[in-house]
Amino acid sequence: MRVLVVNMLLLMLGGLRAQIVLKGKVKDVVSGKGVAFAAVGIHQKPLGVICNEEGVFIIKSGLTEQDDSLTVTAIGYKPRMVALTALVVDNPEGRIDLEPEAFKLPEVTVKSEKIYYKFLGTTKYSKSNCSGFVKNEDSWKGSESAILIKNEQPVLIEDFGFFVIRNTYEDSLTFRLMFYHKTADGKVGETFLQRPVIFKLKQSHGEFRMTLRDENIRVSGDFFVSLECLMDEMDISRFCYAGSYRQPSYIKASHFQRWTRVRGGGSDYNLKVSYSKE
């Protein structure tokens, strides 16, 4: 369960529309620690932010109405929606509890069949093609770049890799790796992750690989893999990675925007997977 503490300033204009500043912190009610990178936004509007590593967020908007609702989501927890007026009138401290999802991990049956390995996605990095992230209004945080992974059988994802062409930032960079179902019409669907996969990167050049076997990510059929930027700044002149010239890319500038398919320039992501033969 999580707690969201919100400090709000509402300046009513004509009784209908408000200039709003939301400042708060998402916490885990059990541990009391801030929940890193939870998503906080206005329901059914492309407006919201990703919390920082301590769970702190600030939303500023002049496009908010009194009957709007605030949504708070995080992988592994049930989403929650609360009316802004209810927060101001009935709950001035802005406390919102999120219930954890009850996931049942798939049972792993040990069989005698031999385990096979293969790579999905990019087979050769396009090291001369610099790819990066799209900036939203305030920062790059929450910007994502995804590609479609063709997959014909049930697999376990063993590790993930991509190639850093340039990184001149002195501090470690933070990313979230995301996996999504493919919808019937070929679009990016909902995530099938049960817990977040967040990692840090500091290397200035070369291939980066991350082991994922312990995450127990299993998937059948085609799916999307995405890299989400969790940094306020991620200028392509300072950080970029290999991207295909022909691979279609699916991008969005923030967590609350829709995916857009872009021809060419798709990210060069690489997945090692394992599988067994009947």
Where does the chain hold its CATH 2.60.120 domain(s)? Answer: 115-276
- State residue 35's pLDDT score: 81
Q: Over the stretch 7-28, which tens digit does the pLDDT of each residue have?
A: 554 444 344 455 667 777 787 8
Say if domain 115-276 classifies as CATH 3.40.50. Answer: no
Residue-wise DSSP of the chain: -EEEEEEEEEEEETTTEEEEEEEEEEEETTT--B-TT-EEEETTSS-EEE--TTSEEEEEEEEEETT-EEEEE-TTB--EEEEHHHHHHT-TT--EEEPBP---PPP----SSPEEEEEEE-SS--TTSEE-----SS-STT-EEEEEE---S-EEEEEEEEEEEEE--SSPEEEEEEEEEEPTTS-EEEE--SS-EEEEE--SSEEEEEE-GGG--EE-S-EEEEEEE--S---TTTEEEEB-SSS-EEEESSTTSPPEEESS--B--EEEEEEE--
Q: Over the stretch 207-231, which tens digit does the pLDDT of each residue have?
A: 999 999 999 999 999 999 999 999 9
Q: Which residues of the chain have a pLDDT value below 70?
A: 1-20, 62-64, 86-95, 103-112, 264-265, 278
Where does the chain hold its CATH 2.60.40.1120 domain(s)? Answer: 2-98
CATH superfamily label, 2-98: Carboxypeptidase-like, regulatory domain (2.60.40.1120)
